[in-house]
Structure 1
Amino acid sequence: MQCLNCGHHNDGGKFCVKCGKKLEAVAAQQAAAGVEAVPTQQPAQQQPIPNYSQQQVPQQPNQHVENAKKISKLYIGYFMQGLKNPTATAQGVRGEQFINGLITMILFAISIPLMIYLGIDSILDKVLNKFSVLLLPLLGSDFIDLREDLKNVVKLDFTDIVIINGLISMLCIGAIVLVTFGAVKLAKVNVSIQDVFARFGAFLIAPTAVMLVGVVFALLEISLFSYILGFGILGLFLTVAFTILSFKHSDSNGLDSVYGTLLTYIVMAILLVLFGRHLIEAVVSSLGSNMQDTFGDW
């Protein structure tokens, strides 16, 4: 047996003759030394696979909604400034405030039929109070029953009264501004139609605020809204005069502001009478259709 420690060949025995090592121990040692240690390889950590389906994709804001919010915010600031300093604000605006002027005119126009729609109960109650002196002695308790029945059935159609007449009112306001623009141009003032619309709308801020207060009063059934409606219409007449006078005349040969204002007033009065007649007819028609069954049963 060959000694694996020193390489000496031994004939037998348990120990090497040359080095004295135990042959079995040396063999076991060499055998252990000859085996290469194979390092245990740790499995690589697996990275988690991102689940894109679970990730929340940020929603893009609606562009139309954002634009509406921006315009509303700018208009509120413009409205409050015009309410605080109406003359200074109106004289400083030009065509760049055209959109704000249109919004003011729309608010003014829609507030008229909306005030009537919301305050019809108060109007009817006031009318019945005036006729109660004549009808109560004749009808007695029947008049009281009739009055309660009328309050229960008096319902105006929102589409006919507010939407349709609101559109007609907007057209009337637009026509009044166009006539105002014509009066300014006849005075030889170099302005654009956007300038006139913007300035007219700026002067109309205060009357519009009055009309909005009237809408709130009508909603609360406070009878003062009818007087507020009158003040609002008066404010519309003043707006025409203020708008025409606010533009400086560069040519003395043009139409004088007084005549231009009177001309606009004539057209304005005609338009308001026509609109008022149409609104009254719509209210009477709506009331008649709702009260027909009640009068028949009574």
Structure 2
Amino acid sequence: MSITCSNCQHTTDEGVFCIHCGAKLPEKIQGEAHSSQPLSSSQRVSYGEAQLNQGTEPTSNSMLTKERMQKASESSKMYASYVMDNIRSPYQRLQTISQSHLIQALVTMGIYALLIPLILYIQLQSSIGLFGDVPFFETVVKPFLGYIVFLLLIGAITFGVIVLNRYQASYTEVIARFGTILLPFVGLLILAILMSLLNIGMFILPLLIAFTGAIFVAPLLVLLSYHEPGCERIDLMYSILLIIVGAYVTIRIMSEVLLSFVSQLFRF
């Protein structure tokens, strides 16, 4: 790079002094010259740290992904163990269920709430899918959320009757037991969806058993798991009637969401 001396206007190569008059070259040029000098030790350390951080970032991300996968695997194993322990004799084990099983119970309730509208979606897709797409949100997502709310309301009604009888229980524990007792009905829904995929018309039978059983049978079994003869405040007969009436009123309120799938299925 050529440099013009500010004293004699002689053009020379890079350097500190002019080779013609010996005057010192401009300071800004020296700064440019200095910029080409080797990095200092502190600069080399900073550069090395930056390279090290860039190298360790993918490693930390992979470790985080591995930890998440491991946690997901452990959670799946815990839920599978929970299912196997309670599906064999659900009522006998119901008294051992506490609020520590709440997460597994909520997962079971979520699966139950998802399978019913999913069966409807499969049937509608196979029946009218040739004429257009079936709206997934209206057919699956919206009813799924409605069933979640409905199941929680049924659990609240059951909890209210249990409290009226002065049994020692918490709402989370009642929901944990209610979700656990739904396991056999989830099994029936899985059977119904397999039959639906195979175009077996009798799929409606396990579907209706699972639907009515979760509403009228499961809450009564939860109540009986707290029942202590001679300690109840309300006679068991009236407690059962209260749950049935409460479930019926809840169905009437949410009938547009809950029972729409039945009318849709019987059309095809």
Same fold (TM over 0.5): yes
Indicate the residue corresponding to 2:94 in structure 1. Answer: 90
User: CA deviation digits over 1:208-234, x for unaligned, max 9?
Assistant: 111122122223332222111111023
> Separation in 1 of the partners of 2:90 and 2:262?
35
Change (3 A) 1:117 1:69: same
> Separation in 2 of the partners of 1:282 and 1:155?
17
> C-alpha root-mean-square deviation of aligned residues, in Å?
2.9
Residue 84 of structure 1, CA deviation = 1.4
Tell me the SS of whatever aligns to 1:74: helix
Indicate the residue corresponding to 1:74 in structure 2. Answer: 78
Residue in structure 2 matching 1:111, options 115, 118, 139: 115
Task: Extract unaligned runs of 5+ from structure 2.
Answer: 1-50
Indicate yes or no: 2:208 matched with 1:202: no
Residue in structure 1 matching 2:218, options 239, 247, 258: 239
Change (3 A) 1:197 1:90: same
Task: Look up the equivalent residue of 1:223 and give its one-letter code.
Answer: G
Indicate yes or no: 2:246 matched with 1:270: no
Tell me the SS of whatever aligns to 2:149: helix
Indicate the residue corresponding to 1:61 in structure 2. Answer: 64
User: Quick check: 2:117–2:140 contact (8 Å CA) kept in 1?
Assistant: yes
Residue 87 of structure 1, CA deviation = 2.0
Residue 68 of structure 1, CA deviation = 3.0
Residue 70 of structure 1, CA deviation = 2.1
> Separation in 2 of the partners of 1:111 and 1:196?
23
After the TM superposition, which of the residue ranges 274-283 and 201-210 deviates more from structure 2?
Answer: 274-283
Change (3 A) 1:213 1:274: farther
After the TM superposition, which of the residue ranges 216-225 and 259-268 deviates more from structure 2?
Answer: 216-225
Residue 190 of structure 1, CA deviation = 1.0
> Separation in 2 of the partners of 1:281 and 1:193?
29
TM-score between the two structures when normalised by the length of structure 2: 0.68
> Separation in 2 of the partners of 1:199 and 1:280?
25
Task: Extract unaligned runs of 5+ from structure 1.
Answer: 1-50, 125-149, 286-298
Task: Look up the equivalent residue of 2:257 and give its one-letter code.
Answer: H
Indicate the residue corresponding to 2:238 in structure 1. Answer: 259
User: Quick check: 1:211–1:228 contact (8 Å CA) kept in 2?
Assistant: yes
Percent identity, aligned pairs only?
A: 23
After the TM superposition, which of the residue ranges 276-285 and 150-159 deviates more from structure 2?
Answer: 276-285
User: Quick check: 1:189–1:251 contact (8 Å CA) kept in 2?
Assistant: no
The aligned length equals 209
User: Quick check: 1:169–1:275 contact (8 Å CA) kept in 2?
Assistant: no
Residue 65 of structure 1, CA deviation = 4.2
Indicate the residue corresponding to 1:32 in structure 2. Answer: none
> Separation in 2 of the partners of 1:108 and 1:79?
14
TM-score between the two structures when normalised by the length of structure 1: 0.62
User: Quick check: 1:160–1:282 contact (8 Å CA) kept in 2?
Assistant: no
> Separation in 1 of the partners of 2:219 and 2:154?
8
Indicate the residue corresponding to 2:15 in structure 1. Answer: none
User: CA deviation digits over 1:265-288, x for unaligned, max 9?
Assistant: 112123334444335668999xxx
Larger radius of gyration: 1
Residue in structure 1 matching 2:104, options 88, 100, 107: 100
User: Quick check: 1:187–1:251 contact (8 Å CA) kept in 2?
Assistant: no
Task: Look up the equivalent residue of 2:76 and give its one-letter code.
Answer: S
> Separation in 2 of the partners of 1:154 and 1:273?
32
> Separation in 2 of the partners of 1:107 and 1:198?
14
User: Quick check: 2:114–2:144 contact (8 Å CA) kept in 1?
Assistant: yes
User: Quick check: 1:161–1:279 contact (8 Å CA) kept in 2?
Assistant: no
Equivalent residues in 2 for 1:124-203 (5 A)?
A: 152-153=130-131, 155-203=133-181
> Separation in 2 of the partners of 1:195 and 1:283?
31
After the TM superposition, which of the residue ranges 249-258 and 183-192 deviates more from structure 2?
Answer: 249-258
Residue 201 of structure 1, CA deviation = 1.5
User: Quick check: 2:146–2:257 contact (8 Å CA) kept in 1?
Assistant: no
> Separation in 1 of the partners of 2:222 and 2:177?
6
Tell me the SS of whatever aligns to 2:211: helix
Residue 182 of structure 1, CA deviation = 0.5
